[in-house]
Structure 1
Amino acid sequence: MISIVKDLAAEALFVSSLQPSECPSRQAVERAVTAMLLLHGSDGCAAEVATEFGDHPEMAVRRMHWVHDELTGVVAPAAVA
């Protein structure tokens, strides 16, 4: 289940306007993910990602690496106490 959530969050952050140069906070990342999912839906985010990989593959790969780095710790399984 966590894998699916991470994938959805990655696609949503990818299509957001946040940039690596902004060094966004965890809260900014969470807001961007939520806003993009509400705006585009999961299918819409996936379609936008696919378009970018088709049109600008080199840039899309770099952005997706940044996205995954940003999501580390934001979308993670809860620690079991």
Structure 2
Amino acid sequence: MQAHATNRWATPSQWEDHRSTISRLYRRNTLSELMHTMQEEYGFYATSRMYKLRIHAWGLRKNLTFKEAKGLLTQMI
């Protein structure tokens, strides 16, 4: 995937500017849906590898670990 000639890849400051939006969309969408939304609605261009590296650096996850899920269930009882 290449950015269009008139567009540039996302800069570190743009990543931070869109951090909350990316975090919200990541939890509710697939990576390709997230990438498409960010490109179409925000003019934000990044490769899937860029997203994966940033998501990992931010510590974002979609699923709970077994230990976390067990702890939540224990609290509910």
Do the structures match in fold with TM over 0.5?
Answer: no
**Greater relative CO, 1 or 2 (CA 8 Å, sep 6+):** 1
Question: Normalised by the size of structure 2, how large is the TM-score?
Answer: 0.29
Question: Normalised by the size of structure 1, how large is the TM-score?
Answer: 0.28
Larger Rg: 2
